[in-house]
Amino acid sequence: MSPADAVSDANRGYIIPIGGAEEKLNNPEILDRFIDVCGGRSARVAIIPTASELEDTGRNYEKLFRKIGVKHAKVLNIITREDCQNARHTAYIERSDGVFMTGGNQLRLSTTLGGTPVAQAIRRCNAAGMHVAGTSAGAAFMPEHMIAGGREGSTPSPDMVTLAPGLGLTNNFIIDQHFRQRDRLGRLLTALAYNPFALGIGLDEDTAAFIRPGDDLEVVGSGGITIIDPTDLTYSSMDRARRGETVSLVNVKLHILISGGRFEIKSRQAITEKP
């Protein structure tokens, strides 16, 4: 699934991947910022809980957004591919200022939404200015290439990651979540070794990347974002490494940015937070 075309980058809505476990009660900074981007209290937000197997996940986010002050927050109960054919769901997305995809299992998202009118509506509306946020599995699902699973560890290995097609809002990134908490550096490096075209974004919990139209990324939240840039990669042993063997990668650049930090994606420039 490729990103939907837009007349220019300036027309696109934000893409907002969140690393999971975002603060919801005491200081919901990320969710507050998402609502501000969507237009504030009058915003219309569609909540897609497909990734979760818990029946109350969507309703909990609906209550949370309303508690924050959003007047129009609605759960779209999309469980099956048949649900994705429901014209009422696509119509609500088309009237929305933002879509929020919950956590759970990203394969439930890709196998349920992939190729359906709901997925097409999200891509089309994001290209036209609607903002899309996703936490945990919802974050992993956003790009064209999705990390579907893998194992922990800091050193890349050929069998460390499973990749699958994602939603296709962008082909500039591969995203991993719960990054520091679950020791996922190795699997993100492995994914990038398979596809050095993309940037890697590793999101700590309670941390989000607010990716502006024009591909300028800003960090919001209490943790850090690890950005891996393989642009200048000069050597990779991925093509001959066997299962379980360590992969050699030379001249890969890594940045860690915290709240207020920015990354200019086109120029590959990291900008630190203000002191």
Could you list the active site residues? 136, 178, 205
Give the bridge partners for 220, in sequence order: 208
How is the beta sheet containing 173-176 ordered, strand by strand? 173-176, 199-203, 224-229, 253-258
DSSP string across the chain: -PPPP-SSGGGSPPEEEE-S----SS--HHHHHHHHHHTGGG-EEEEE-TT---TTHHHHHHHHHHHHT-SEEEE----STTGGG-HHHHHHHHH-SEEEE--S-HHHHHHHHTTSHHHHHHHHHHHTT-EEEEETHHHHTSSSEEEEEE---SS--TTSEEEEE---S-SSEEEE-STTTTT-HHHHHHHHHH-TTSEEEEEPTTEEEEEETTTEEEEEESSEEEEEE-TT--EE-TTTPPTTPPPPEES-EEEEEETT-EEETTTTEEEPPP-
